[in-house]
């Protein structure tokens, strides 16, 4: 029994020490971020690929969005930023298709924020094709053009690819961010060592961890040359 107690005490001390040594500016693997066992291939060339996994109806994704947009702007040419809408259930798929249709129409910059606002501020559901279509028409977009793309093979293919990425990156919650196909972080991950902090504080810490991971990936990639 004493041995078990001693082992448990040593484990607890080690965990506390590891957590105490972690900070957003000096993130620790297993505390502030996770490293994928199987790195994923990226498509951004020499730039660092940063991918956000999100769901339009997620209040935490909505809350993170303004700060994330500003962070992406500050990164400039350091990164290639991508979004992947997730589907934990079949009922999520209409919103997946909404995002990829907006992307195909070149309307993400114009309407991505508006989708979040409609759901979370205006309290209007956008869960079905009919609800989404009504929303789109109100934005002045041609209904037929939208639906042709929404139900197209290309959009359906992207939705299937999103499902594959979700599994490959082991996405178990959103928002979640992948850096360089190797590292995963999220407010929920960073929050494990910041219990009791406000959501805005968790967001700021997560973005700082992301900045550190971008720098880490750049240094590692430079060392491979």
pLDDT tens string 49-87: 999 999 999 999 999 999 999 999 999 999 999 999 999
Judge whether residue 3 has pLDDT over 60.
Answer: no
The two structure tokens encoding residue 152: 């197209």
| Burial per residue of 7-29, b for 16 or more beta-carbon CB atoms within 10 angstroms, e otherwise | eeeeeeeeeeeeeeebbbeebee
Question: Do 190 and 209 touch, CB atoms closer than 8 A?
Answer: yes
All domains in the chain, ordered by first residue: 54-187 (3.40.30.10)
The whole model's pTM is what? 0.88
User: Residue 5 — very low, low, confident or very high, per pLDDT cuts 50/70/90?
Assistant: very low
In 3D space, the residue among 45, 76, 64 whose CA is nearest the CA of residue 181 turns out to be: 45
If one counts every other C-beta atom within 10 angstroms of the C-beta of residue 64, the result is 25
Q: In this predicted structure, what is the pLDDT of residue 224?
A: 75
User: Residue 94 — very low, low, confident or very high, per pLDDT cuts 50/70/90?
Assistant: very high
Question: Do 101 and 149 touch, CB atoms closer than 8 A?
Answer: yes
More confident residue, 196 or 105: 105
Judge whether residue 19 has pLDDT over 90.
Answer: no
């Amino acid at each position: 029994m004493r041995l078990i107690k001693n082992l448990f005490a040593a484990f607890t001390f080690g965990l506390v020490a590891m957590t105490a040594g972690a900070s957003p500016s000096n993130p620790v693997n297993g505390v502030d971020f996770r490293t994928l066992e199987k790195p994923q291939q990226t498509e951004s060339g020499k730039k660092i690929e940063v991918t956000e996994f999100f769901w339009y109806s997620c209040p935490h994704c909505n809350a993170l969005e303004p700060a994330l947009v500003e962070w992406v702007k500050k990164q400039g040419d350091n990164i290639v930023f991508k979004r992947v809408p997730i589907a934990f259930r079949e009922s999520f798929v209409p919103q997946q298709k909404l995002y990829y249709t907006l992307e195909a129409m070149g309307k993400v910059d114009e309407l991505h924020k508006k989708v979040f606002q409609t759901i979370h501020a205006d309290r209007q559901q956008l869960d079905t094709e009919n609800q989404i279509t009504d929303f789109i028409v109100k934005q002045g977009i041609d209904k037929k053009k939208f639906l042709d793309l929404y139900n197209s093979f290309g959009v359906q293919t992207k939705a299937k690819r999103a499902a594959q990425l979700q599994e490959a990156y082991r996405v178990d919650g959103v928002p979640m961010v992948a850096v360089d196909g190797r590292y995963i972080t999220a407010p929920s991950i960073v929050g494990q060592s910041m219990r009791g902090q406000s959501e805005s504080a968790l967001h700021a810490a997560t973005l700082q961890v992301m900045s550190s991971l971008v720098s880490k990936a750049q240094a590692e990639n430079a060392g491979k040359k």
